[in-house]
Structure 1
Amino acid sequence: MFCMPIIFIFQLIFFSELKQSYAEDFNLFGEAGQAYSIEISIGHPGQKLNVIVDTGSATLAIASYQRPDNDKYFHLKNSTSIYDSGQEIQAQYSQGTWVGKLVSDYVHFPSMPNVTEVRCDIALITKSHKFFMNGSGWQGLLGLAYLPVGAWGDNVIVGSWLDSMDHMLNKPMSFELKLCSVLGITNATHYGNLKILDDQISNKSFMFRTPVLRKRWFVVGVLSVHVMSDTMSSVASKLKTGNNATYTNITQSQSIYEINEGLCQRLNEQKSIVDSGTTNIRLPDDIFRQVVNELRNAAQTSNVLILDEFWYHGEAACWPEPQRWSLPRLAIHLLDFDAENQYFTLELPPQNYMRVVSARNNSGTGGSVSEFCYKLGLEAGGKETVLGYTVMEGLQVVFNRSAGWIGWRTSNCGPNATISGPYNTSSSLLVRCQLIEPLSDAAISIKAAQWTLFVISMVALGVLVYLLTPCIKMLIMKPLPRSQQISLSQAALVEQEGT
């Protein structure tokens, strides 16, 4: 009779200590359906705000006005260290726009004491449209991508926080996102961790790496997205040791899945990016419908009744109890950094793509009932492919901007996502999937200059040939001399015409 209370007390102590140990590592957090945000301190004295960690843009943008749903914002007049450039800037995202002004001030992160405070460009948002979500717990975003996807204005270059950090330290820095999702099936708040790393440190640790094909967004080569069969899952599981993926060379005959050229070309027709500021996995319309059809059929086979509005229209499905999903894994094949005929596979369990959006456990008190709601973590994206933070949960993802790669490894928190590979193919995936890396801006300028010089040379050659045509024609058509008289008469005729 006394065992149950003792066990219950032990469990409370254990989970309390576990939560405290996790809390020491967590500096990212977010409510259901919202991206991961971090606390930031701006100006002197510091004003603390929450900003989304966004790999889909490059600008540090902060609200500087009070909104109806959030009265927390940056007060420009309260900072003694701010510099106002007086220049107007703007930005447009896949969802929402804003306008504001460019300033610079000191920025540091209270949860990362080892990261030096740095002065950098900041966009103070003065007006926005569909940018801030209702009830969002954040006041801006921290762009971590490359400069070309930053805010813009007339004759204005808006620098990024990471570029300012690189310049101050005089060396390039990488960053790591460790996204852990929710802490339990009855919780809707997700947690994670952001670390700033020296490039040399990130290069030494083992992970699966995919190349950044274009240093603008984090553009990568997504070769396939499909629902895994039981056979694929069982073969892939043999390549792992515990929770860690083993780097095993797989011959073509041992490959689980052969890359389909048409599929990978459609996935990358516009661009494929890794974007922590986006929630879902966004796929081209036809591929989205194909993947969702397979998941829907698998759910029906498992006797899980879910309406089509959930699968195809982004609506939530709710139950009185939390769900333990037994749906198949989702496979995402990525181009390997080390060889253009290799790829590796992210294997995502249903906990990744069946997202918790609310978890209310009322235990029936006051006549109310418990409600646990979920949304599908996939959506149609036109012709675009976006790997939102749903893909990264349960993994540790390193972004090495200077070397141009993204590294993936398994994590000790979050869904049981795994990685397998690398798998070999018979030919270059860059060529088969039309992923040839675009030329850099400098190379494009040189190439343009070369083509311009070539065209000028060809025009000059054409003019020269035109001017020399009579002489050339005379030399070509001149017959062998039969007598001196004929030769002299022809020459005289020319002379006469000339005089």
Structure 2
Amino acid sequence: MFFKNNSEWQGLLGLAYTGISRPDKSVKSWIDAVMDANDQASLAFSLELCGMISNNNSNHIGNFDVILGNNERLNHTKFVANIIREWFYDITIFDITVDNQSLTTSSITCRDINNDKSIIDSGSTNLILPEKVYNSLTDALCKYVERNNISLNPDFWNTKDTSCFDFEQNWNILPNISISIARDANSYFILDLPGPSYVKQVFSDENSPLKYCYKVAIEKSTGNIGTILGAVTMEGFKVIFNRTSKTIEYQKGHCGPNVGLRGLYYDTNCDIIQKCSFKKLSTYDGNFFDRNILPIFFITVIIMVAAIVLVFLLKKGKENSWASHVFISMNRTPQLINED
């Protein structure tokens, strides 16, 4: 739980798993502390984000509810994603489309979308995508705008810039961005995000002659943070994070943008989760082991096996000449190949 000084109680509430606690894993997350304090083995919580109160009020509203024990509010609808890794709320995305046109091509696969993870995170604001997925999505949006003669400056899609107008804009003219989320190995459901989900009003300087200002809530990820379904992708839905069943359930909300929720759809040709999930270790800091320790480990094993074979051959008097040849070969100085 983090609160900045003079923040008027605005901050981050620990809703994820203890594995990403800071400064270390011994720090219990807020949601785990609630479960322990209530002596509950079963816990879920729901978020229903509504967005801004009005065009004249930038405060955001929503509902947060902790659900302890077995509860009838856990309907277990068909729109349920499995949490594939318990650190952030890590899921598998099958596809992303713009105006029903898939971003996955010969150069972009569903694994690229999930590289190196795909998480649902209310602590992030925007829809954040790996670089080449982001580039493909913004390119598709630009082409849609051009095809439909929508008057927008090309710099509009730059999330660092604010675009201002002298009258309120109707962003329903923009296409849906649809996100297909794996339910299990052979089925998925789709979140439909209309223009108002990913183009958000912001407030300009009071002295600005243009009253209505907007920013695109889609950004390119930096480093290897992967895909993040931030708060803008949750607005309009009721999202239930069920820690007990290790699932995330989507329902239509009672406020926010007019989003869509549809499915189930089936793909029996492959295991969606195996096909699309980025390969990763089960622990939060396992990547260091993968990059640094594993190569050394395998080299050590190879050397030990070679040494055992060498000793065995040297003891066989009948094969002295062949053993000597092996001895000479094994004592050659190993060469490191620089592949830069």
- Scaled to the shorter chain, the TM-score interval is 0.7 to 0.9
Is the CA contact 1:283–1:385 (under 8 Å) kept in the aligned structure 2?
yes
Pair 199,397 (structure 1): closer, same or farther in 2 beyond 3 Å: farther
1:207-243 alpha-carbon deviations (Å, 9 max, x no partner): 51111121111111122222124xx8xxxxxxxxxxx
- In the TM superposition, residue 183 of structure 1 has moved relative to its aligned partner by 3.9
Alignment pair present for 1:356 and 2:201? yes
- In the TM superposition, residue 299 of structure 1 has moved relative to its aligned partner by 2.9
Matches within 5 A, 1:419-434: 419-425=261-267, 426-434=269-277
**In structure 1, how many angstroms separate the alpha carbons of the residues matched to 2:140 and 2:124?**
24
- In the TM superposition, residue 196 of structure 1 has moved relative to its aligned partner by 0.4
Is the CA contact 2:103–2:136 (under 8 Å) kept in the aligned structure 1?
no
Aligned counterpart for 2:260 among listed residues 396, 418, 422: 418
**In structure 1, how many angstroms separate the alpha carbons of the residues matched to 2:283 and 2:130?**
27
Could you say which residue in structure 1 is the equivalent of 2:237? 395
Could you say which residue in structure 2 is the equivalent of 1:408? 250
Alignment pair present for 1:160 and 2:5? no
Any idea what SS the aligned residue of 1:144 has?
coil
- In the TM superposition, residue 437 of structure 1 has moved relative to its aligned partner by 7.4
**In structure 1, how many angstroms separate the alpha carbons of the residues matched to 2:60 and 2:136?**
29
Could you say which residue in structure 2 is the equivalent of 1:283? 129
Matches within 5 A, 1:256-405: 262-325=108-171, 326-336=173-183, 339-358=184-203, 371-382=211-222, 383=224, 384-405=226-247
**In structure 2, how many angstroms separate the alpha carbons of the residues matched to 1:259 and 1:409?**
26
Is the CA contact 2:239–2:249 (under 8 Å) kept in the aligned structure 1?
yes
Matches within 5 A, 1:180-329: 180-198=50-68, 200-201=70-71, 203-229=74-100, 262-325=108-171, 326-329=173-176
Pair 158,465 (structure 1): closer, same or farther in 2 beyond 3 Å: same
Aligned counterpart for 2:3 among listed residues 54, 62, 74: 62
**In structure 2, how many angstroms separate the alpha carbons of the residues matched to 1:413 and 1:159?**
32
**In structure 2, how many angstroms separate the alpha carbons of the residues matched to 1:300 and 1:400?**
42
Pair 427,472 (structure 1): closer, same or farther in 2 beyond 3 Å: farther
1:426-459 alpha-carbon deviations (Å, 9 max, x no partner): 1111232244675469xxxxxx9xx99xx69x86
**In structure 2, how many angstroms separate the alpha carbons of the residues matched to 1:359 and 1:342?**
44
Whichever residue aligns with residue 96 of structure 2, its letter is: V
Is the CA contact 2:20–2:88 (under 8 Å) kept in the aligned structure 1?
yes
Any idea what SS the aligned residue of 2:203 has?
strand
Alignment pair present for 1:141 and 2:12? yes
- In the TM superposition, residue 469 of structure 1 has moved relative to its aligned partner by 5.2
- In the TM superposition, residue 471 of structure 1 has moved relative to its aligned partner by 8.4
CA RMSD in angstroms comes to 3.7
- In the TM superposition, residue 137 of structure 1 has moved relative to its aligned partner by 5.0
- In the TM superposition, residue 185 of structure 1 has moved relative to its aligned partner by 4.5
Is the CA contact 1:149–1:216 (under 8 Å) kept in the aligned structure 2?
yes
**Range with greater deviation from structure 2 (289-298 or 169-178):** 289-298
Q: Which runs of 5+ in 1 are unaligned?
A: 1-59, 71-135, 233-256, 442-447, 474-499
**In structure 2, how many angstroms separate the alpha carbons of the residues matched to 1:358 and 1:329?**
25
Is the CA contact 2:180–2:189 (under 8 Å) kept in the aligned structure 1?
yes
Any idea what SS the aligned residue of 1:265 has?
helix
Aligned counterpart for 2:44 among listed residues 174, 196, 199: 174
- In the TM superposition, residue 319 of structure 1 has moved relative to its aligned partner by 1.6
**In structure 1, how many angstroms separate the alpha carbons of the residues matched to 2:208 and 2:104?**
51
**In structure 2, how many angstroms separate the alpha carbons of the residues matched to 1:166 and 1:140?**
21
Pair 183,225 (structure 1): closer, same or farther in 2 beyond 3 Å: same
- In the TM superposition, residue 280 of structure 1 has moved relative to its aligned partner by 0.8
- In the TM superposition, residue 401 of structure 1 has moved relative to its aligned partner by 2.2
Is the CA contact 1:430–1:436 (under 8 Å) kept in the aligned structure 2?
no
Is the CA contact 1:182–1:191 (under 8 Å) kept in the aligned structure 2?
yes
Is the CA contact 2:96–2:180 (under 8 Å) kept in the aligned structure 1?
yes
- In the TM superposition, residue 301 of structure 1 has moved relative to its aligned partner by 4.1
Larger Rg: 1
TM-score normalized by the length of structure 1: 0.53
- In the TM superposition, residue 416 of structure 1 has moved relative to its aligned partner by 0.8
Any idea what SS the aligned residue of 1:143 has?
coil
Percent sequence identity over matched residues?
30
**In structure 2, how many angstroms separate the alpha carbons of the residues matched to 1:148 and 1:228?**
38
**In structure 2, how many angstroms separate the alpha carbons of the residues matched to 1:401 and 1:407?**
11
Any idea what SS the aligned residue of 1:288 has?
helix
Pair 404,460 (structure 1): closer, same or farther in 2 beyond 3 Å: farther
Any idea what SS the aligned residue of 2:316 has?
helix
**In structure 2, how many angstroms separate the alpha carbons of the residues matched to 1:301 and 1:334?**
28
Is the CA contact 1:185–1:322 (under 8 Å) kept in the aligned structure 2?
no
Pair 226,302 (structure 1): closer, same or farther in 2 beyond 3 Å: same
**In structure 2, how many angstroms separate the alpha carbons of the residues matched to 1:342 and 1:273?**
19
**In structure 1, how many angstroms separate the alpha carbons of the residues matched to 2:76 and 2:186?**
23
Is the CA contact 1:292–1:312 (under 8 Å) kept in the aligned structure 2?
no
Pair 434,388 (structure 1): closer, same or farther in 2 beyond 3 Å: closer
1:458-477 alpha-carbon deviations (Å, 9 max, x no partner): 8699479828953897xxxx
**In structure 2, how many angstroms separate the alpha carbons of the residues matched to 1:472 and 1:158?**
64
**In structure 1, how many angstroms separate the alpha carbons of the residues matched to 2:277 and 2:201?**
36
**Number of residue pairs aligned between Structure 1 and Structure 2:** 303
**In structure 1, how many angstroms separate the alpha carbons of the residues matched to 2:110 and 2:216?**
23
Any idea what SS the aligned residue of 1:304 has?
coil
